[in-house]
Amino acid sequence: MFHIGILVFPMVQQLDLTGPFEVFSTWPEARVDLVWKTTEPLVSSTGLWLRPTIAFEDAPRFDIICVPGGRGIDPLLLDDEVLDFLRAQALAAKFVTSVCTGALLLGAAGLLVGKRATTHWTCVDLLPVFGAIPIRERVVFDGGLATGGGVTAGIDFALALVGELAGAEAAMAIQLQFEYAPKPPFDAGDPSSAPPVVVEAFREQSRESRDERERLVTQAARRLDRADG
């Protein structure tokens, strides 16, 4: 039995969390907890209420720790309680993992140095700030580190991890149960295929939040450098 802890926090991108949660919870060999500072309900970035099942202070050493992303990641980049929790979990975990911009939080905890990793396409260029080797793929494995790309890649990531731990047939059985055979109506899920006008409009729409995230990533990396020094 693999005990999986998924970090949940205010303003999490709920699909970053619920995609992997569905996969892991369907896997008979897994037990899944949502972990946060307290067990009080909190709200995701799109208004879905979520309830942590276990608090940091009561959490065991998880076999797998998973960090989703979302707007709520930004303040956590400088949150010592969260960063210390992730560092402690990483010491014994079989796999340290993330989905989307959750990779930036792993980076702020010093867990990406020298590692191949991915994240949401808008933030892949920030990974080297934390010493990571950026890879533009849906799912990237590097030893005991597994990272997924943006949002929907969390399902791919979770299936790949189940396949790694339990074999391809176990993962395919879950995929079949979910009827996970995506055929999106538009070929616009990646900046390389989306129309340039759509890509530019999105970049402009998210420019302010991206600039703020870059500022916080830089600050978090400097804190790591000082701690290493």
Name the percent of the chain in helix, strand, coil, to the closest 5. Answer: 45, 15, 35
Confirm whether 123 is a catalytic residue: no
The span from the CA of 92 to the CA of 17, in Å, is 22
Instruction: Please state whether beta strands 30-36 and 54-55 pair in parallel, antiparallel, or not at all (unpaired).
Output: parallel
The span from the CA of 57 to the CA of 188, in Å, is 43
Q: Can you name the residues that pair with 35 across neighbouring β-strands?
A: 7, 54
The span from the CA of 69 to the CA of 151, in Å, is 8
The answer to whether 20 and 2 are in contact (CB under 8 A) is: no
DSSP-assigned letter for residue 95: E
Residue 2 one-letter amino acid? F
Using DSSP's 3-state secondary structure scheme, residue 52 falls into coil
**What's the CA angle centered on 224, arms 136 and 150, to 5 degrees?**
25
* Burial (Cβ within 10 Å: 0-12, 13-18, ≥19) of residue 229: exposed
Q: How many CB atoms lie within 10 A of CB 167?
A: 11
Among residues 35, 76, 82, 100, the one annotated as catalytic is 100
Active site residues: 100
